[in-house]
Copies of this chain bind each other. A is one copy, B any other.
């Protein structure tokens, strides 16, 4: 496995592979790889002959006051994870390799970016769409792998690929959890041991909601109430949002009667964590 830092190098290698007839997968990441990413790379390696992992903490998807500077970075550790998970190439550019100072062009979505995490992160998903478009143009892969933990991101990227006719297949992969149920996240390492325990409330509250759905509850108002009262039991937790939306359009809905996305964002201390599940109502 090799690591390259320039657009020219990664593009050249992928072109050579495509010319030789290999199928190529892209796994876009911001590094700080955990077993959630590992599962993406594993699956990509199973389904494709060559796997490129991009590692890039994308500055334009961070807002002011967010954790761009403190976001964990450890390329050496990431290289070990990528290698053992079956990656063939890492693309790890610096910010100035990816962005000119006088950048003008961007890619965005409209309604899909306004709710959920987009409500309080107004430029976040334009930043995501722009960098993912760039990666797709730099690395002409057959398939790209994204985690379902970032459910809104996944819905937006799928729509962007459809709307702009990117010639790539988007594969969503299930959330990977710790044994105790906490969804894997690079931001979990910000948690103190007390906060780490408190963070279990995310999965716990979603499980209560899923149980209620299984028992026939369809009112999203009531379902959200179930999540809310569960989370309020945890003193270290502060709710950012609890939403139940149409899984495709991300429109807020009153009655759970088609595939829905139940998504929450919770501050545990200063750390913002997200979790979700899709329910095929």
Contact = CB atoms under 8 A, between A and B. Distances in A.
B112 A159 contact: no
Contact of A137 (B106, B108, B167): B167
Contacts of A166: 137
A133 interface: yes
B162 A137 contact: no
Nearest to A126: B108
Interface stretch (A23-31, A69-77, A96-104, A142-150): A96-104
Given A164-B133, A165-B138, A166-B137, A104 B100 contact: no
A242 interface: no
A213 interface: no
Interface string A146-187: 000000000010011011111100000000000000000000
Contacts of A109: 104-106
Contact of A163 (B105, B108, B164): B105
A160 B104 contact: yes
Nearest to A110: B104
A11 interface: yes
- Which of A103, A104, A130, A162 counts the most chain B CB atoms within 10 A? A104
B104 A107 contact: no
Contact of A105 (B100, B102, B134, B159): B159
Counting chain B CB atoms within 10 Å of each CB, the highest count among A130, A133, A138 belongs to: A133
A107 B110 contact: no
A27 B142 CA distance: 26
Contacts of A138: 165, 167
Interface in A91-134: 100, 102-112, 129-130, 133-134
A7 interface: yes
B104 A111 contact: yes
Contacts of A100: 162-163
Nearest to A15: B167
A84 interface: no
A43 to B, nearest CB: 25
